[in-house]
Amino acid sequence: MAALTSFDPAMLPLAFLNNVDPWIFAFSFVTVVVTIWMGFRSAKSSKTASDFFVAGRTVSVGWNASAISGEYLSAASFMGIAGMVMSSGYDALWYPVCYACGYLFLLLFIAGPLRRFGAYTIPDFAEGRFDSPIFRKIAVCFVLFIGFFYTMPQMKGAGTTLAYIFPGMPYWGGVVLVGAVITLNVALGGMKGITLVQAFQYWAKMFAISVPVFVLMSVYGFYGAHLGANGQSTPGSTPAAAIAEIAASESAAAEVNRKPLVEKAPADSAWVSPFGPLTTKAAKAAGLSAEESKPYSLLYTYSLIMALVCGTAGLPHILVRFYTNPDGGAAKRTTMWVMILIGVFYVFPPIFGVIGRNLLPELYAGSGAKGTDKIVLELPRLLNERGGVWGSILSGITCAGAFAAFMSTFSGLLVSMTGALAHDVYGRMLRPKSTPEQRMRMFKFAAVGIGAVSILLGSYVEQLQINFMVGQAFAIAAASYFPLLFMSVWWRGMTMAGAATGMLGGGLAALGCTTIINLSDLKIVDMATFWNSHPLLRILFEQPAIWTVPLAIGLMIVVSKATSSQVPRDIRMKMLVLHAPEKLGLKQEYIQEHQAGTGH
């Protein structure tokens, strides 16, 4: 009996179940179950890739636009942006803006021609454009590189969310749990990129981010009022403007009840104005003054913009969905709707960051999974102070949205990486004569292997910000896929050798830089003193796009000129297929000619 009365739950292995908010748990659990169930249900109705594409061609514009948007919004969009706006302020706004605007570049330069060419994936396009299977291998390598960089932030999102729902659970526990569930699910054949599931996911995420924002704003004051509360006069402003500012901020501050900032939080003026903590970090660490560090900030900002805009335009998994439209006109209308859907979404996450700075400044003191990256999850819970359980319910809704975000993105990435490994590496390179059963078995092994590596990598990156890591994946895509697509669509002089050198040169340079930065930020390699004496190098390594994208394009031009005799012989026809209107039906002729030429 004595043992029972002194019962201590902390002694049990299930101790992490203490202090769990039942509402938050219920919403998250339902989301996980529904996502897995929908994945399996729709996986049954479409078995093969061609099924998916052909069936998809009947999808209506509205559904398709929602599906593309649903696939696009990852843990970085849902949790990372809010966390970064809270920790770094104005400079972090470039992320949502460039995520949305990169899509415009995709529309302007790449989407139309690629759709006409009829290549479903970048390896397909690379092989078709240059008639070279070697190129497919290089493209596959980059599917894996970018994929792993993209899975790390999703894993961090998973670890953070589970550490929030189960306060006693260590960060790595959440990563292993979520990673294992999704890996198993993909290996068993669920979770294919089905339009209905993805479209549902978009509306779930939109609902989960917008409704809590409106409720929070109606209780605690609006977006502008919360920003206004951060308004001490900025250095360099004219006296008249400064007085007006103070008056405005006082009237606004009267509406917002602000909690005192903790020591680690950036000061108001640095947070709310451009060239703040994010972009001046390297120069500040080197001991430069505010004036001296401004040019460094400008360089950082431009490099970041370049990485995000070009990286979005080179993201392979987004391109696939352009083929699920019945015709080119519908594809373009879909793109218009996607821009509107993701644009509206991206207005909301920064609001969480701004309100969070005023109401939950405690998070600045936390690090890793307990830091600002969980602001979207924790902020709505404040409403519990006003009585009732509405805070818990809304917090449960944002947790559900976070689950939808990292589960869909992680499983999508896992499917495409596993597909690349099983079909391209095993099926085409290692064992071209393998049977479909062998390939199916290989798919399962590959899924488990890649899932395990992702979990391992994910459990190491607790101290890195979600959004920052996604930015790195974009920087690699910007220096490899984007130059490849852009140059081979618009320049007929491009040769296989040129494309390969440029993509490898730019892509590997970006990959190397980001890896070094991660190793030193995670303190696996100690480089702090080196960075402190070389702030410019630190910026060029942290945001490499400003030199790797021109490097890739330059290499492509130089090497292509040097090997100009190797330009594909039917380049005129290829260019016509890429650029002539679909209604002329040139593609059909091209395919027939091509088959007649190579068939025997």
Which of 23, 63, 94, 142 forms a contact with other proteins (CB under 8 A)? Answer: 94
Which of 33, 241, 430, 440 forms a contact with other proteins (CB under 8 A)? Answer: 241
Tell me which DSSP letter residue 131 carries: T
Please report how close the Cβ of residue 137 comes to other proteins at its closest, in angstroms. Answer: 30
Q: Using CA atoms, how far apart are residues 310 and 547, in angstroms rounded to an integer?
A: 13
The number of residues that bind other proteins (CB under 8 A) is 61
Residue 267 engages other proteins in binding (rule: CB under 8 A): no
In this structure, the dihedral spanned by the alpha carbons of residues 243, 244, 247 and 249, taken in order and rounded to 10 degrees, is: -110
Of 99 and 135, nearer to other proteins (C-beta) is 99
Residue 236 engages other proteins in binding (rule: CB under 8 A): yes
Residue 298 engages other proteins in binding (rule: CB under 8 A): yes
Please report how close the Cβ of residue 438 comes to other proteins at its closest, in angstroms. Answer: 44
Residue the block writes with tokens 């108001």: 268
Residue 254 engages other proteins in binding (rule: CB under 8 A): no
Which of 16, 63, 78, 105 forms a contact with other proteins (CB under 8 A)? Answer: 105
In this structure, the dihedral spanned by the alpha carbons of residues 132, 136, 139 and 145, taken in order and rounded to 10 degrees, is: -150
Residue 296 engages other proteins in binding (rule: CB under 8 A): no
Which is nearest to 594 in space by CA: 320, 328, 586? 586
Which of 155, 162, 178, 227 forms a contact with other proteins (CB under 8 A)? Answer: 227
Binding to other proteins (CB under 8 A) within 488-517 occurs at: 490
Structure tokens at 238: 């004219």
Which of 158, 339, 369, 494 forms a contact with other proteins (CB under 8 A)? Answer: 339
User: Of the listed pieces 53-61, 221-229, 407-415, 542-550, which binds other proteins according to CB under 8 A?
Assistant: 221-229
Q: Using CA atoms, how far apart are residues 556 and 457, in angstroms rounded to an integer?
A: 32
Residue 118 engages other proteins in binding (rule: CB under 8 A): no
134 to 173: interface string for other proteins, x by CB under 8 A? ----------------------------------------
Residue 107 engages other proteins in binding (rule: CB under 8 A): yes
Which of 137, 439, 579, 594 forms a contact with other proteins (CB under 8 A)? Answer: 579
Backbone angles phi, psi at 537, to 5 degrees: -60, -40
Please report how close the Cβ of residue 248 comes to other proteins at its closest, in angstroms. Answer: 5
Of 90 and 135, nearer to other proteins (C-beta) is 90
Which of 220, 275, 481, 541 forms a contact with other proteins (CB under 8 A)? Answer: 275
Q: Using CA atoms, how far apart are residues 457 and 450, in angstroms rounded to an integer?
A: 11
Tell me which amino acid residue 199 is. Answer: A
Structure tokens at 248: 């405005």
Q: Using CA atoms, how far apart are residues 373 and 73, in angstroms rounded to an integer?
A: 16
Please report how close the Cβ of residue 177 comes to other proteins at its closest, in angstroms. Answer: 35
Q: Using CA atoms, how far apart are residues 57 and 330, in angstroms rounded to an integer?
A: 10
Angle at 257 between CA 251 and CA 262, to 5 degrees: 115
User: Of the listed pieces 49-57, 226-234, 503-511, 565-573, which binds other proteins according to CB under 8 A?
Assistant: 226-234
Residue the block writes with tokens 């302020």: 89
Please report how close the Cβ of residue 126 comes to other proteins at its closest, in angstroms. Answer: 21
Which of 173, 258, 326, 333 forms a contact with other proteins (CB under 8 A)? Answer: 333
Q: Using CA atoms, how far apart are residues 31 and 137, in angstroms rounded to an integer?
A: 37
Q: Using CA atoms, how far apart are residues 574 and 491, in angstroms rounded to an integer?
A: 11
Residue 274 engages other proteins in binding (rule: CB under 8 A): yes
Angle at 470 between CA 25 and CA 313, to 5 degrees: 125
Which of 25, 40, 120, 302 forms a contact with other proteins (CB under 8 A)? Answer: 302
Residue 587 engages other proteins in binding (rule: CB under 8 A): no
Q: Using CA atoms, how far apart are residues 98 and 342, in angstroms rounded to an integer?
A: 11
Residue 545 engages other proteins in binding (rule: CB under 8 A): no
Please report how close the Cβ of residue 538 comes to other proteins at its closest, in angstroms. Answer: 19
In this structure, the dihedral spanned by the alpha carbons of residues 56, 59, 65 and 70, taken in order and rounded to 10 degrees, is: -50
User: Of the listed pieces 16-24, 267-275, 360-368, 396-404, which binds other proteins according to CB under 8 A?
Assistant: 267-275
Residue 249 engages other proteins in binding (rule: CB under 8 A): yes
Residue 248 engages other proteins in binding (rule: CB under 8 A): yes
| DSSP codes, 424-470 | IIIIIII-TT--HHHHHHHHHHHHHHHHHHHHHHHHH-TTS-HHHHH
Greatest pairwise CA separation for the chain in angstroms: 89
**H or E element, residue 378:** helix 375-378
Report whether 455 contacts 176 (CB < 8 A): yes
- Report in angstroms the alpha-carbon separations of 557 from 307, 309, 573: 20, 22, 21
Which of 207, 223, 323, 445 forms a contact with other proteins (CB under 8 A)? Answer: 223
| DSSP codes, 500-541 | HHHHHHHHHHHHHHHHHHHHHHTTSS--HHHHHH-HHHHHHH
Of 82 and 559, nearer to other proteins (C-beta) is 82
Of 134 and 336, nearer to other proteins (C-beta) is 336
Q: Using CA atoms, how far apart are residues 131 and 382, in angstroms rounded to an integer?
A: 59
Of 147 and 277, nearer to other proteins (C-beta) is 277
Of 183 and 280, nearer to other proteins (C-beta) is 280
User: Of the listed pieces 39-47, 282-290, 327-335, 375-383, which binds other proteins according to CB under 8 A?
Assistant: 327-335
Residue 447 engages other proteins in binding (rule: CB under 8 A): no
Residue 225 engages other proteins in binding (rule: CB under 8 A): yes
Residue 188 engages other proteins in binding (rule: CB under 8 A): no
Q: Which residues bind other proteins (CB under 8 A)?
A: 90, 93-94, 97, 100-101, 104-105, 107-109, 112, 222-229, 231, 234, 236-238, 241, 244-245, 248-249, 252, 272-275, 294, 298, 301-302, 305, 309, 328-329, 332-333, 335-336, 339-340, 343-344, 346-347, 350, 490, 575, 579-581, 583-584
